[in-house]
Amino acid sequence: MDCGKEEIMKKIISLFKRNYEGDRQIINEIVEGAEWVVTGEGIATRKFDGTACAIINNKFYKRYDVKKGKNIPLDAIPCQEPDLITGHHPHWVLIGNGSEDKYFREALKGNEPDGTYELCGEKINNNSEGFTGHHLIPHGKEIITDVPRTFDELKEWFRDKNIEGIVWWHPDGRMVKIKKKDFGLKRTDLY
């Protein structure tokens, strides 16, 4: 999937609403703007468990979430307006030369096109994807053809799948996501 400027900057909305007042699990109500998924539009792709990063104008950035009350780093690029519920405000910040960014630098081959990526690897999020070393996985790379689109069918579909989630891509650039853990289901540790 190609990522235009609009897709590079915005955080992806979820398919179902979340119960913020209770268990924080999703409920069987569609998030406004995600209705196109349940009507059969868009292509489903695998969501990898890593950390988001982007190449924008040949510069390498990582996702940085400025939480309520925290300062925005100098030269950070806002991805969207702050979330009114959580107060989180995602930005892109340049990858630096420090030890905190070494896995990003290790994964960068230098010929990646502009777009968004997931950094996955041995030292990222417990390596639930089972990678050796560190790699940049282009978002939208792995298309999945058998994904249902209703709450109950998706919950059942995820039961025997050892993946983080799904991202649907609409031809006009919109995206919607859902994660296995949103249903209260856990991944199997195979690695």
Positive or negative: CA dihedral 64, 68, 72, 77: positive
- Tens digits of residue pLDDT in 11-58: 799 999 999 888 888 999 999 999 999 999 999 999 999 999 999 999
pTM of the model: 0.88
Residue 161: pLDDT band with limits 50, 70, 90: very high
Pairwise CA distance, residues 178 & 34, whole Å:
11
Pairwise CA distance, residues 34 & 31, whole Å:
6
Mean pLDDT of all residues in 108-119: 95
The pLDDT value recorded for residue 1 is 44
pLDDT at residue 69 greater than cutoff 60? yes
Pairwise CA distance, residues 131 & 13, whole Å:
27
Mean pLDDT of all residues in 111-131: 95
